[in-house]
Structure 1
Amino acid sequence: MVKSELVRVLSDKLPEFQTRDVELALNCMLDQMNTALENGERIEIRGFGSFDLRHQQARLSRNPKTGEPVNLAAKVRLHFKPGKELKDRVDAARNKCRITE
């Protein structure tokens, strides 16, 4: 879902608020989430999931095309762990997503 579509859906569900106010609230929430992650904080949204940072050490890898060794620098990765409610909803909607095993 694109952010503009999310603003439209929220505006439809909250007709007492103007669209620009809904968009401002959404942008504020996303900015706060970005700031928290930049500061190394963990974010937990009950029923949805949690975001945290994982540190990946520098390592030696290989170029898949040439097979030459390549040094990869250490980095920080964003990790999302879905909550139980989200996992259950996604699993229940499995047939809608055309997921095959």
Structure 2
Amino acid sequence: MTQRNSVRDELRRFTMFCGAVFLSIFSFLAIAVIAHNVTAVSSSAALSVDTGMTKSEVVEILGEPHQIDRHNAWHYSVHGCSDMLHVYFKGGKVESANF
């Protein structure tokens, strides 16, 4: 009888542990998806970036960049697009903007 109870207790603990792990992973993924949707720029705003614009004009349209790489290129997440918008500058002005 005690052996059955101990097996049940172990199974219950293992089930609780698996449930906690699942909930923590699910919560992490849900937060990542929500954060992407909140911070992503609209596709129409992304398409309005033209060559020759200054950095301040880009910030006015798109906001602060989500990432800046070592080459000082700015990267933005875009709603409905799996790729990021990449904005490259030369001399303080937009040289190119592409997905």
Greater helix share, structure number: 2
TM-score normalised by structure 1 residue count: 0.29
Greater strand share, structure number: 1
TM-score normalised by structure 2 residue count: 0.30
User: Which of the two has higher C-alpha Rg?
Assistant: 2
